[in-house]
Amino acid sequence: MSTEVQISLRTIASINPAKGEILREFQCAGEAEVHAAVDRAYAAQSEWSQLGVRRRISILREFQRLLQEKKSDVARLITREAGKPYVEALLTEVMVVLDAARFLIENAYRLLRDEPVPHGNLAMKTKAGRIVREPHGVIGIISPWNYPFSIPATEAMSAMVAGNAVVLKPSEFTSLVALELEKLLHTAGTPKEIFQVIPGDGATGAALIDSGINKLIFTGSVATGKKIAQAAAGRLLPVVLELGGKDPMIVLDDADVEVASSGAIWGAFVNAGQACLSVERCYVHRSLYEPFVAVCARKAKQLRVGDGMNQETEIGPLIHERQLRNVEAHLEDAVSRGARVLAGGTRLRGLGPNFYAPTVLANVNHEMRIMREETFGPVLPIMAFDDDDEAVRLANDSEYGLAASVWTQDRTRGDALARRIHAGTVMVNDSVSCFGISEAPHGGVKASGIGRTHGRFGLEEMVRIKYVDSDRMPGVKKIWWYAYGAAFTRQMEGFLDLQFARGLRQRLRGLVRSAGVFRGKKL
């Protein structure tokens, strides 16, 4: 059988996590299909690039209009396939994408246009230089299930507005949402070859890395990110890696307990704790510790867990059984080492297959997995600290560095502390919502990743920087060309003095010594 007609025998299923029902099954795209998609993207990309930024922005504007019109359908589909409450699908997925489109519509032209590079060196004054931003060509995107719409859409929009074609390999758990994104983009006028979705599993993703794409934007776990970095290294494929987090929240002694506790439970439980930016560790000043944990436990017990389609629901199901087992294993380890469960701590089997009660833990420490590994579930572990230095040390005692938050009524103190925390983003008096600030760069340090998405820096990842320099005196030989010799050397010494000597007299002497350079004969 030739590779062209080989078909993949692996299948994946899209399942409603609240009910366990299969929504649709897909055959994974095999190597040949992945390569064919990338070839089609290549063939179409140069015309797309030549279309110009303004024309591509007008397609983006149409996409934004369509998405706004279809917002409820899109949000409902996200809830059915990923489980999150409908209103969260609207705010953290649809709104994030609408606003990211707004950012690009308003700024992409300015950010992508050529940039003059003035020359400071006297020897280079006859030249004019500029930075040119060129698309990479075909950008591969591999995305996770937890934000199945906003993650691939924000990345794809900036890739495409910059003139790239995109081939998206969505999570095997959320193919339907990715196909809906594809439909919207095509309806808005994006050529079919410029945005293509290839449903599949990890092997499909691996095939995409091997397919000859020019850059990869990967979002997912640290474990997969490391495999991808290794595969990419073999091809010297540039990658952006948006990986996991174990975000700390620091509640200082002057914080408002009522406000910060509400922030803690939202930050820990939004999307059932399955956000890369979830509050996964909470450190509270000892003077506030007992009241803080008590209020968090009371508020956690009030949260309504259920099917995200119900508008009263605040916490939906986890994505699948494996995720629940991970949460249970972290809980078991923490409790066996002395953690106190103040709320939750159990599955909610009566609601459906994948529900877990919002859980608040006290008496935790850094020996426990719950404070070291990404839990990715509705768990808020809270630990006491004695002073700001200890809080910073605890926050930084992690292999991760995605985001963090500091809670205080003194913004100056909060900002100062934010600078001491090793993370890609630090918010003062909020968490998680930075993902919805389209101007803000998103990305981590340490094991949380490499590179940035969103905003200006996210757009810069989608282009190759080319430097173009043009000499304004094409008929003149440059003074630094051959021939060398004693006279030329003296002139150049003088030239260095003219430019860089500290005293005026020495600089003037340098001017006199170097003046003869223009009379010298060049080969």
> Annotated active-site positions, please?
242, 276
**Minimum distance from CB of 438 to ligand NAD (Å)?**
14
Find the helix or strand (DSSP H, E) in which 293 lies: helix 286-302
Rounded distance, CA 477 to CA 475, Å? Answer: 7
The CA-based diameter of the chain, rounded to the nearest angstrom, is 93
The burial of 504, by beta-carbon neighbours within 10 Å (0-12 exposed, 13-18 middle, 19 or more buried), is given as: exposed
List binders of ligand NAD among 270-309 (CB under 6 A): 276
| Min dist. Cβ of residue 177 to ligand NAD (A) | 12
Give the shortest CB-241-to-ligand NAD separation in angstroms: 8
Using the rule CB under 6 A, is 224 a contact of ligand NAD? yes
For ligand NAD, which is the closer residue by CB, 197 or 391? Answer: 197
CB 343 within 8 A of CB 300: yes
* Distance from chain centroid for Cα 46: 26
Report the distance separating Cα 356 and Cα 297, nearest Å.
15
Q: Is 88 in the site for ligand NAD (CB under 6 A)?
A: no
Which of these ranges, 44-52, 103-111, 238-246, 484-492, lies near ligand NAD under the rule CB under 6 A? 238-246
- Comparing every residue's Cβ against ligand NAD, the nearest one is 205
Per-residue mark of binding to ligand NAD, 126-155 (x: CB under 6 A): ----------------xxxxxx---x----
**Contact predicate 357/378, CB 8 Å:** yes
Phi, psi of 212 (to 5 degrees): 100, 15
Binding flag, residue 374, ligand NAD (CB under 6 A):
yes
Residue 166, CB half-sphere, CA atoms under 13 Å: how many? 30
Task: Kindly tell me which of 230 and 287 has the beta carbon lying closer to ligand NAD.
Answer: 230
N-term to C-term CA, the chain = 63
Size of the site for ligand NAD (CB under 6 A): 30
Q: How far is the CB of 268 from ligand NAD (least distance, A)?
A: 14
Residue 201 touching ligand NAD (CB under 6 A): yes
Candidates 243, 296, 334, 391; binder of ligand NAD (CB under 6 A) is 243
Among 137, 205, 358, 401, binds ligand NAD (CB under 6 A): 205
Distances (CA, A) of 196 to 160, 168, 199: 12, 6, 10
Q: Is 417 a residue that touches ligand NAD (CB under 6 A)?
A: no
Q: Is 326 in the site for ligand NAD (CB under 6 A)?
A: no
93 binds ligand NAD (CB under 6 A): no
SS3 content of the chain, % helix, strand, coil (to 5): 45, 20, 35
Is 221 a binding residue for ligand NAD by CB under 6 A? The answer is yes
Q: Does 240 bind ligand NAD (CB under 6 A)?
A: no
Cα angle 354, 355, 359 (rounded to 5 degrees) comes to 135
Exposure b/e, 305-341, CB count within 10 A at least 16 = b: bbbbbeeebbbbbbbbeebbebbeebbebbbeeebeb
**Does 171 sit near ligand NAD (CB under 6 A)?**
yes
Q: Are 168 and 197 in contact (CB under 8 A)?
A: yes
Question: Is position 85 an interface residue for ligand NAD (rule: CB under 6 A)?
Answer: no
Tell whether residue 158 is a contact of ligand NAD (CB under 6 A).
no
Quick one: 142 or 362, whose CB is closer to ligand NAD? 142
Question: Which helix (H) or strand (E) segment is 27 a member of?
Answer: strand 22-27
Pick the binder of ligand NAD from 152, 245, 308, 377 (CB under 6 A). Answer: 245
Which C-beta is closer to ligand NAD: that of 137 or that of 200?
200
Residue 172 interacts with ligand NAD (CB under 6 A): yes or no: yes
Single-letter residue type at 483:
A
Give the shortest CB-440-to-ligand NAD separation in angstroms.
12
* 368 near ligand NAD, judged by CB under 6 A: no
In the complex, minimum distance from the CB of residue 238 to ligand NAD, in angstroms, rounded to a whole number: 16
Side chain identity, residue 416: A
The helix/strand/coil state of 33 is helix
Those residues with Cβ within 8 angstroms of residue 239's Cβ, 6 or more apart along the chain or in another chain: 215, 216, 217, 218, 228, 229, 232, 450, 451
> Smallest gap, in angstroms, from Cβ of residue 228 to ligand NAD?
5
Angle at alpha carbon of residue 284, lines to 378 and 269, rounded to 5° = 15
Question: Toward ligand NAD, which CB reaches closer, 240 or 498?
Answer: 240
CA distance 487 to 494: 11
Nearer to ligand NAD, 224 or 359 (CB): 224
Binding segment (CB under 6 A) for ligand NAD, from list 185-193, 201-209, 248-256, 425-433: 201-209
Q: Is 238 in the site for ligand NAD (CB under 6 A)?
A: no
User: Segment near ligand NAD (CB under 6 A), from 24-32, 125-133, 202-210, 458-466?
Assistant: 202-210
Tell me which stretch binds ligand NAD (CB under 6 A): 66-74, 216-224, 357-365, 386-394.
216-224
Query: What residues line the site for ligand NAD (CB under 6 A)?
Result: 142-147, 151, 169, 171-172, 201-202, 205-206, 219-221, 224, 227-228, 242-245, 276, 374, 376, 402, 444, 449
